[in-house]
């Protein structure tokens, strides 16, 4: 699971550098252009809102994708805990703990591989 946590942190850093910062830069540049001219206040605010839309869309999309991923990881870990609970009564706490660790590590390995697929998908979908 530690490897998975490091992989998630690396993905977040990549998303920040490759997706969010360029989108923020574009939003700021577009927002600055909104200040040009003598637009009525309503048009000015609409312009500012449009400037921030791509960033907001990326944030929502990526948050949903990573939230779903997190849910799958949590369900896997919960399944491991459920299995270990059944082992406690049959084989004792040490055996249950060993099974739990093995199972959670398997979840981590599986989802670390899946995370690289998610990274490719997110970069393809949201990279400006």
- In tens digits, what is the pLDDT along the chain, a chain of 128 residues? 899 999 999 999 999 999 999 999 999 999 999 999 899 999 999 999 999 999 999 999 999 999 999 999 999 999 999 999 888 878 889 999 999 999 999 999 999 999 999 999 999 999 88
Tell me the whole-structure pTM to 2 decimals: 0.85
Q: CA angle at residue 98 from 103 to 108, to 5 degrees?
A: 30
Give CA angle at 117 (112, 120), nearest 5°.
125
Closest by alpha carbon to 1, among 74, 78, 105, 75? 105
All residues at 6 or more sequence positions from 2 whose CB lies less than 8 Å from its CB, including other chains: 108
Mention every residue, 6+ apart, whose C-beta is less than 8 A from residue 62. 15, 19, 122, 126
Instruction: Please give the structure tokens belonging to residue 63.
Output: 């948050």
Residue of 5, 19, 27 lying closest to 123 (CA atoms): 19
Q: How many domains does the chain have?
A: 1
DSSP calls for 7-58: HHHHHHHHHIIIIIHHHHHHHHHHHHHHTSS---HHHHHHHHHHHHHHHHHH
Domain of residue 99 covers 2-126
């Amino acid at each position: 699971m530690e490897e998975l946590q490091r992989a998630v942190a690396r993905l977040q850093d990549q998303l920040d550098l490759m997706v969010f910062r360029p989108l923020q830069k574009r939003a700021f540049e577009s927002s600055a252009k909104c200040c040009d001219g003598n637009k009525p206040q309503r048009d000015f605010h609409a312009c500012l809102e449009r400037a921030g839309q791509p960033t907001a869309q990326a944030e929502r999309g990526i948050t949903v994708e990573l939230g779903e991923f997190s849910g799958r990881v949590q369900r896997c870990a919960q399944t491991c805990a459920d299995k270990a609970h059944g082992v406690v009564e049959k084989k004792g706490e040490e055996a249950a703990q060993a099974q739990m660790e093995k199972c959670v590590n398997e979840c981590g390995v599986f989802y670390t591989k899946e995370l690289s697929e998610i990274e490719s998908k997110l970069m393809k979908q949201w990279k400006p």
